[in-house]
A and B are shown apart, each in its own frame.
Chain A
């Protein structure tokens, strides 16, 4: 779709405001009646003409413009009792609504709620969203309800593997996912090498993962956007919830600051794996530490009818320490101020100012040495979004986003008696930005069109030293640049289009195309994604990654929306992918850009999802058949090779069953064929050792991975305001030793012979957690 066409469509949308009849706007906020939380994605429809409607935005605001007259409006949200209001529309009206959750007592209740048919009626495809209620009963590692891990059980999303923090979406790398926590980008979204996520599920409100057809409002990462929204805090009464478990515990406190106007929420979590260390007789272990914590702090205040202010902070840290000798700690810290402003019933605005810091610190204190290694990224981010709803057929969003990045790639500080020198890598600065406009448009009753355009830009600038390199990676020049002096500027248009054609009340075809530029790249040269992996900006040497993705899908609901099914096909083309030279020096290297080589990639696949949304048994079946390839001139003799994440078959079956109102069981089974890996195809003798000889890159496969997780939740007490429950979970119920790594080495007894050794990380991992809410 050409730029010209998109602009024309936007103008047509704006002009389609009916000028013949006088129209007025009904707008307001939709909230949960029990705690005042804004409801995201609640549906407002006009009973008299069901095609006219609106959806509440991320702050719970909705806007509906209709000709003067009498209407009955119906407000609905899954899991809540629908409400209808009769209005006589003779002027602009503010109508705020509170929806009550469907009564959930211990009596056997046949739950008949309004089931969302977004699968068919929404234009957005390639998105998977979850509410915390759905995550509640899933069994995951260590009994924690982990939304991050749950997302990895859906089609097209593959976990990077045990011990790995990231995930792959549709054949893309782990750095190609934008993880937003209340609009703040999170650089390392997991703790302890991927075993836990940074999201405390008690404080989560909404999660959506966009795998394709990414709306123009988002940019910066090639493969996906994971948009996580936290709760604002109960503004009606004080509430607490939490859990105590074998390995980790969490606590959330929320309440009103001024009833119905202002609230706060504090949510924290900590593991205490190292609590067992005191049992050891060994001095070294006694002084060791291994823990992480998360702390979310939020407060919001309603200033009059048109303005609302939000302040939030997130602090998370992982700490590993061995005796007094070695320590590694890393973490994210973000602080956000947001301001919602209503210009009028049709125009909503949000302004956000975000500060984010990601850093790690290594401390080595052995044999009179005292060395500290530091690295950090600081971001200042200003975002402005406008939501303009001129009529029920068009929802327009436009705005901009500017981020100032400050990289401090590394600094070594040594003690006075050290044999090492102080050193510092040159800092780097950059300005990243985007301007966008998008429209979610209905054309008649059968067609939906979501189209938009984003202009993304990146300015790599001083003060810094910029290097150039020859083809072999040797430095050819170094030039200093001053503050704000531009070294390299990148900019590009990113068309984003999604279209839906409804074939009937129960099925729809959707198609989408998007282009995304990615200006920040994660260099990871180890099997385990490590907190010390390096983020580098695009520069005079490193070009931005560009992803183009086409997707098409068929969507069908069965049995009155009880079942949702979809089949999506995608094709993704990636440019300027990064890999490393053989023997690349990745550690504290000022000239690290000389170690990089560039190439391209492609990925395609088919994703099947069948979801059962209601009844005693709920859950889903997900199957993905996909391929992902890379081509680099200097790797594999320039021949295309499978990317590491080229797992051809990926299956997940998730089932949640209500045995009784007090007892819920769940089971998860995952199966996937192995990653592509490089194994030796020969060996030779050198320096008295047996050395493996490698030929093709990623020419082999790891063995298939599969495991079963089981969980049981026993609710011992449940009233309207309180709940107590026990959760028992068993990870890897049949104890399969899934290969984490396969190593090739000389045999102990006969060093001339070699063998392959498989290392597995986990077999059975049971966990017990006691959860409470009051």
Chain B
């Protein structure tokens, strides 16, 4: 236990070490199909993964579906089939997605049909960074405080996700999921700060993704579903897939930038 927190804990009489792993009996629901489909603006690979749910505490390898028929089409154009490459993945390399257009995914798996649509917004790029050394303050260690800047267009509502990795390790825990909209700062320069402080020479890769409103609803409700315990009524994320599958299909804009902290 960190002693410097003692005054706060003393004053609150809150139990400092009262967290423990427990055994809970959970039901085993009927497996449900999960579809995760991603495409990017520009020419890039479309990647779709089709799997099924498993038992919560199970250790079995994930159940995959390799015999589905998957296709993508742009607006009213002809659908293009996405071939299976094994392990539940379906990939179509060198597919061009254009900003301002709507894309549709169709999946036929285990005799059921699933469809989804995603609108590709116009790209928004990361403008710049700032990094400033700060001493230890309260709950935060000493280190560099990093901020990422970009300019939000004020013509439309925008929805973003920020992904980052430190020294080639992708920050991929549920608490790292950062999704936001421009409700409070439409049209302004947006500054994203990190609670975590970084060390000198840390290599940081940032990726700013833009998405449509349905995807924003998916990821923000995903964030709630992952933070289970804080909500009295956790629910599955609001999927943009019709037909009864979990997961999402999204076409994203991407802006990647690299920073070495100094």
A426 proximal to B (CB < 8 A): no
The answer to whether A693 and B138 touch across the interface, beta carbons within 8 angstroms, is no
Shortest distance in angstroms between B212's beta carbon and chain A's nearest beta carbon? 15
Residues of A726-774 contacting chain B, CB below 8 A? 737, 741-746, 751-763, 765
The answer to whether A527 and B229 touch across the interface, beta carbons within 8 angstroms, is yes
Question: How many angstroms between the C-alpha atoms of A286 and B52 in the bound complex?
Answer: 51
The answer to whether A367 and B193 touch across the interface, beta carbons within 8 angstroms, is yes
The answer to whether A759 and B18 touch across the interface, beta carbons within 8 angstroms, is yes
The answer to whether A694 and B21 touch across the interface, beta carbons within 8 angstroms, is no
Provide the residues of chain A in CB contact with B53, threshold 8 Å: 682-684, 693
Provide the residues of chain A in CB contact with B1, threshold 8 Å: none
B86 proximal to A (CB < 8 A): no
The answer to whether A247 and B13 touch across the interface, beta carbons within 8 angstroms, is yes
The answer to whether A290 and B236 touch across the interface, beta carbons within 8 angstroms, is no
**What 0/1 readout, one digit per residue, does chain A (269-291) give for beta carbons within 8 Å of chain B?**
00001111101111111001010
The answer to whether A691 and B222 touch across the interface, beta carbons within 8 angstroms, is yes
Pick from A142, A275, A288, A679: contact of B26, CB below 8 A. Answer: A679
**What 0/1 readout, one digit per residue, does chain B (178-206) give for beta carbons within 8 Å of chain A?**
00000111111111010000000000000
| Identity of the chain A residue whose Cβ is nearest the Cβ of B16 in the assembled complex | A763
Question: How many angstroms between the C-alpha atoms of A362 and B186 in the bound complex?
Answer: 21
**Can you list 21 A-B pairs, Cβ within 8 angstroms, ordered by A?**
A275-B11, A282-B136, A283-B138, A285-B4, A290-B11, A290-B12, A367-B147, A412-B184, A419-B188, A527-B232, A583-B220, A678-B234, A684-B32, A684-B54, A685-B34, A691-B225, A693-B32, A693-B56, A697-B235, A742-B22, A759-B229
Pick from B7, B55, B222, B232: contact of A526, CB below 8 A. Answer: B232
Pick from A682, A686, A760: contact of B247, CB below 8 A. Answer: A686
The answer to whether A277 and B11 touch across the interface, beta carbons within 8 angstroms, is yes
Pick from B26, B36, B172, B191: contact of A680, CB below 8 A. Answer: B26
A416 proximal to B (CB < 8 A): no
B221 proximal to A (CB < 8 A): yes
The answer to whether A680 and B228 touch across the interface, beta carbons within 8 angstroms, is yes
Give the total of A residues in contact with B, Cβ under 8 Å. Answer: 78
Shortest distance in angstroms between B50's beta carbon and chain A's nearest beta carbon? 11
A323 proximal to B (CB < 8 A): yes
Interface size of B as a range: 35 or more
**What 0/1 readout, one digit per residue, does chain B (91-112) give for beta carbons within 8 Å of chain A?**
0000000000000000000000
B78 proximal to A (CB < 8 A): no
Secondary structure class of chain B's binding surface, majority of residues: loop
Provide the residues of chain B in CB contact with A686, threshold 8 Å: 34, 36, 222, 246-247
Pick from A274, A419, A677: contact of B11, CB below 8 A. Answer: A274
The answer to whether B56 and A692 touch across the interface, beta carbons within 8 angstroms, is yes
| Residue with the highest number of chain A CB atoms closer than 10 Å, among B22, B189, B229 | B229
Provide the residues of chain B in CB contact with A763, threshold 8 Å: 15, 18
Pick from B15, B27, B226, B236: contact of A762, CB below 8 A. Answer: B15
A48 proximal to B (CB < 8 A): no
B116 proximal to A (CB < 8 A): no
Provide the residues of chain A in CB contact with B55, threshold 8 Å: 682-683
The answer to whether B8 and A277 touch across the interface, beta carbons within 8 angstroms, is yes
Pick from B23, B62, B235: contact of A756, CB below 8 A. Answer: B23
The answer to whether B29 and A765 touch across the interface, beta carbons within 8 angstroms, is no
The answer to whether B191 and A367 touch across the interface, beta carbons within 8 angstroms, is yes
The answer to whether B232 and A681 touch across the interface, beta carbons within 8 angstroms, is no
Residues of B210-240 contacting chain A, CB below 8 A? 217-218, 220-222, 224-226, 228-238
The answer to whether A285 and B34 touch across the interface, beta carbons within 8 angstroms, is no
Provide the residues of chain B in CB contact with A560, threshold 8 Å: none
From known contacts A742-B229, A761-B18, infer whether A582 and B238 are also in contact, taking CB-CB under 8 Å: yes
Provide the residues of chain A in CB contact with B224, threshold 8 Å: 583
The answer to whether B54 and A279 touch across the interface, beta carbons within 8 angstroms, is no
Question: How many angstroms between the C-alpha atoms of A323 and B225 in the bound complex?
Answer: 31
The answer to whether A758 and B4 touch across the interface, beta carbons within 8 angstroms, is no
Pick from A421, A582, A754, A765: contact of B57, CB below 8 A. Answer: A754
Provide the residues of chain B in CB contact with A685, threshold 8 Å: 34, 51, 62
Question: How many angstroms between the C-alpha atoms of A679 and B229 in the bound complex?
Answer: 9
Provide the residues of chain A in CB contact with B186, threshold 8 Å: 421
A689 proximal to B (CB < 8 A): yes
Question: How many angstroms between the C-alpha atoms of A579 and B233 in the bound complex?
Answer: 10
Provide the residues of chain A in CB contact with B174, threshold 8 Å: 689, 745-746
Shortest distance in angstroms between B43's beta carbon and chain A's nearest beta carbon? 23
Provide the residues of chain A in CB contact with B234, threshold 8 Å: 678, 680, 692, 694
Provide the residues of chain A in CB contact with B190, threshold 8 Å: 419
Question: How many angstroms between the C-alpha atoms of A753 and B24 in the bound complex?
Answer: 15
The answer to whether A680 and B56 touch across the interface, beta carbons within 8 angstroms, is yes
B59 proximal to A (CB < 8 A): yes
From known contacts A280-B4, A526-B230, infer whether A682 and B29 are also in contact, taking CB-CB under 8 Å: yes
Residues of A655-708 contacting chain B, CB below 8 A? 677-689, 691-695, 697-700
Pick from A421, A588, A741, A746: contact of B173, CB below 8 A. Answer: A746
Chain A residues with a Cβ under 8 A of chain B: 142, 247, 273-277, 279-285, 288, 290, 322-323, 366-367, 412, 419-421, 423, 525-527, 579-580, 582-583, 585, 588, 644, 677-689, 691-695, 697-700, 737, 741-746, 751-763, 765
From known contacts A421-B185, A582-B221, A692-B226, infer whether A681 and B27 are also in contact, taking CB-CB under 8 Å: yes
B155 proximal to A (CB < 8 A): no
The answer to whether B188 and A753 touch across the interface, beta carbons within 8 angstroms, is no
Provide the residues of chain B in CB contact with A753, threshold 8 Å: 57, 59
B77 proximal to A (CB < 8 A): no
Provide the residues of chain B in CB contact with A367, threshold 8 Å: 145, 147, 191, 193
Provide the residues of chain A in CB contact with B188, threshold 8 Å: 419-421
Pick from A281, A694, A754, A757: contact of B4, CB below 8 A. Answer: A281
Provide the residues of chain B in CB contact with A280, threshold 8 Å: 4, 7-8
Pick from B137, B172, B246: contact of A284, CB below 8 A. Answer: B137
Question: How many angstroms between the C-alpha atoms of A276 and B10 in the bound complex?
Answer: 8
The answer to whether B11 and A273 touch across the interface, beta carbons within 8 angstroms, is yes
Pick from B12, B34, B184: contact of A684, CB below 8 A. Answer: B34
Pick the 5 closest A-B CB pairs, nearest first. Answer: A284-B138, A583-B221, A743-B229, A273-B11, A681-B29
6 new A-B contacts, CB < 8 A, other than A693-B56, A762-B13, A762-B18, are: A583-B221, A683-B54, A686-B222, A694-B225, A763-B15, A763-B18
Question: How many angstroms between the C-alpha atoms of A666 and B237 in the bound complex?
Answer: 49
Residues of B49-103 contacting chain A, CB below 8 A? 51-59, 62
Pick from B8, B31, B229: contact of A744, CB below 8 A. Answer: B229
Provide the residues of chain B in CB contact with A693, threshold 8 Å: 29, 32, 53, 56, 236, 246
Question: How many angstroms between the C-alpha atoms of A128 and B29 in the bound complex?
Answer: 45
The answer to whether B232 and A525 touch across the interface, beta carbons within 8 angstroms, is yes
Shortest distance in angstroms between B53's beta carbon and chain A's nearest beta carbon? 4
Question: How many angstroms between the C-alpha atoms of A373 and B189 in the bound complex?
Answer: 21
Question: How many angstroms between the C-alpha atoms of A142 and B52 in the bound complex?
Answer: 50
| Residue with the highest number of chain A CB atoms closer than 10 Å, among B14, B53, B238 | B53
Provide the residues of chain A in CB contact with B193, threshold 8 Å: 366-367
From known contacts A582-B238, A743-B229, A756-B24, infer whether A689 and B172 are also in contact, taking CB-CB under 8 Å: yes
Question: How many angstroms between the C-alpha atoms of A421 and B20 in the bound complex?
Answer: 43
B166 proximal to A (CB < 8 A): no
Shortest distance in angstroms between A553's beta carbon and chain B's nearest beta carbon? 32
Pick from B13, B24, B217: contact of A742, CB below 8 A. Answer: B24
Shortest distance in angstroms between B68's beta carbon and chain A's nearest beta carbon? 16
B260 proximal to A (CB < 8 A): no
Question: How many angstroms between the C-alpha atoms of A687 and B8 in the bound complex?
Answer: 37
The answer to whether A420 and B29 touch across the interface, beta carbons within 8 angstroms, is no
| Residue with the highest number of chain A CB atoms closer than 10 Å, among B10, B27, B170 | B27
Provide the residues of chain A in CB contact with B15, threshold 8 Å: 737, 760-763
B44 proximal to A (CB < 8 A): no
Provide the residues of chain B in CB contact with A582, threshold 8 Å: 221, 235-238
Provide the residues of chain B in CB contact with A692, threshold 8 Å: 56, 225-226, 228, 234
The answer to whether B139 and A284 touch across the interface, beta carbons within 8 angstroms, is yes
Question: How many angstroms between the C-alpha atoms of A284 and B58 in the bound complex?
Answer: 44
Provide the residues of chain A in CB contact with B230, threshold 8 Å: 526-527, 741
Provide the residues of chain A in CB contact with B233, threshold 8 Å: 579-580, 644, 678, 697-698
B28 proximal to A (CB < 8 A): yes
